[in-house]
Structure 1
Amino acid sequence: KVLHRDVKPQNLLISEIGELKLADFGLARAKSVPSHTYSHEVVTLWYRPPDVLLGSTEYSTSLDMWGVGCIFVEMLTGVPTFPGVRCTYDQLDKIFKILGTPNEETWPGVTRLPGYKPHRLIFYKIRKLGLSFPRLYDIADGDSMASSLLQLNPDDRIDAEEALRHPYFSSLPRKLYELPDGEC
């Protein structure tokens, strides 16, 4: 497994036949066994998951799946999902305002993360993602897919294989599956 560690729209390339490729592996790392030595200074701020924003250095492919979720919502709505403007805590506020502020009940272990500082956080109630992005309800299984990708707790985030089996993809037009394979 490889952690890309900088999944964002600028690193996605789409060919003329609709083939999607991931680019810029400058921050990528091999992920064969869990490590405690990764930096939390990865991923462009808008696409950085809350666990990393809170200082976790024990991350897995769930790091990249958060970025996929942000891009998924951005593609369906036409606007960035969590456009923080200043710093880590501003970015966390953008996320928590939409998804709710985590606590030990909703995300066991969150209060032990180095960046979890209650005096710096505003506590928001948990909400459905579609309330902030109603367009997600207009697309079959769009809200469910986005919500599965954008779980605050990285252990609850859907992985790539699960995402491909998600009902969202079964409702896509059959024509998409008939696109020709590109050359390697």
Structure 2
Amino acid sequence: PTMVNGKLVALKVIRLQEEEGTPFTAIREASLLKGLKHSNIVLLHDIIHTKETLTLVFEYVHTDLCQYMDRHPGGLHPDNLKLFLYQLLRGLSYIHQRYILHRDLKPQNLLISDTGELKLADFGLARAKSVPSHTYSNEVVTLWYRPPDVLLGSTDYSTCLDMWGVGCIFIEMIQGVAAFPGMKDIQDQLERIFLVLGTPCEDTWPGVHSLPHFKPDSFTVYSSKKLRQAWNKLGYVDHAEELASRFLQCFPKNRLSAQAALQHEYFSQLPPRLWEISDINCTLPMPNDRYFPDTWSKTQTRLL
């Protein structure tokens, strides 16, 4: 962090190569972020362009969800989990309505302020989606959070790409471990997904056989399981298993949108005033909405 005009800011400095000009991803990130004003999206204060560097001046946010979960192992307090997911969906709903995909959702790219405010960051791979039929590079999103359609070589994706990542992050916040921590390669990553959700076929996923990397004989045939069989803590949080299952759909068009997810029963107990906040107002802190110490109760009752 650096002090500018008495404010802590984070500087992202991109060195420019004389012969290359300004890196395209940096320009893309800057132009997209300049137009986004929302409390759940990191604020870009300024862009400083010199001959040698492009510097993006961001608001400073002291930690990210990855570090936060490292400090609170074993899964987050159910109330914090709900507030974090609510804010993540709020930020995504805002960008998706503007035809922008994030494309690299993972805990490291979700910043957490000391009051529990969550902000989407690192839009380096994001791009405006003006025409649904665009084909995009499939080399995006860290493998663990990458949806099966992208792993299988699909480049024809829309906002449902980000919703798979939401499901993975939701489960990681509940369970305290990554949902699909592949160890080797794309094949291994897909096997881990199919082990839980079932190996897809044309009946469950129309068009899967025509994806570039889909070879029916190369995958073990698994039948789908209940999510709590893979992640037992989903059974402790009311409505969590059902919501997670709406995000973790192999067939992209079946994934719940960010906007629809905010209406899910899982959020029915949130304080009503949280729904009345405008885009640019801070979501937290509010009286009684401060987040809780993150330790799972030993006597947590199982919700069946």
Q: Shift of residue 176 of structure 1?
A: 8.9
Mapped partners of 1:90, 1:70: distance in 2 = 16
Q: Give the letter for the 2:210 counterpart.
A: R
Report matched runs for 1:43-58 at 5 Å: 43-58=141-156
Deviation string for 1:112-147 (max 9, x for gaps)? 111111222111011221211121121010001100
Verify the 8 A CA contact 1:47 1:66 in the aligned structure 2.
Answer: yes
Higher helix content, 1 or 2: 1
Deviation string for 1:59-90 (max 9, x for gaps)? 00111110011000000010100000111110
Q: Shift of residue 31 of structure 1?
A: 1.1
Mapped partners of 1:32, 1:164: distance in 2 = 24
2:214 match: 116
User: Given the alignment of the two structures, is residue 30 of structure 1 paired with residue 128 of structure 2, yes or no?
Assistant: yes
Count residues with an aligned counterpart: 181
Mapped partners of 1:2, 1:10: distance in 2 = 20
- Amino-acid identity (%): 60
2:173 match: 75
Verify the 8 A CA contact 1:101 1:124 in the aligned structure 2.
Answer: yes
Structure 1: gaps (5+ residues): none
Structure 2: gaps (5+ residues): 1-98, 284-304
Deviation string for 1:87-119 (max 9, x for gaps)? 111000010011111111111111111111122
1:132 alignment partner, one of 230, 236, 247: 230
Mapped partners of 1:176, 1:93: distance in 2 = 43
Show structure 1 runs of 4+ deviating over 4 A.
none
SS at match of 1:89: helix
2:274 match: 177
SS at match of 2:229: helix
Higher strand content, 1 or 2: 2
Verify the 8 A CA contact 2:161 2:252 in the aligned structure 1.
Answer: yes
User: Given the alignment of the two structures, is residue 10 of structure 1 paired with residue 129 of structure 2, yes or no?
Assistant: no
TM-score using structure 1 length:
0.93
Q: CA RMSD in A?
A: 1.8
Verify the 8 A CA contact 2:135 2:157 in the aligned structure 1.
Answer: no
- The structure with the larger Rg is 2
Mapped partners of 1:138, 1:176: distance in 2 = 26
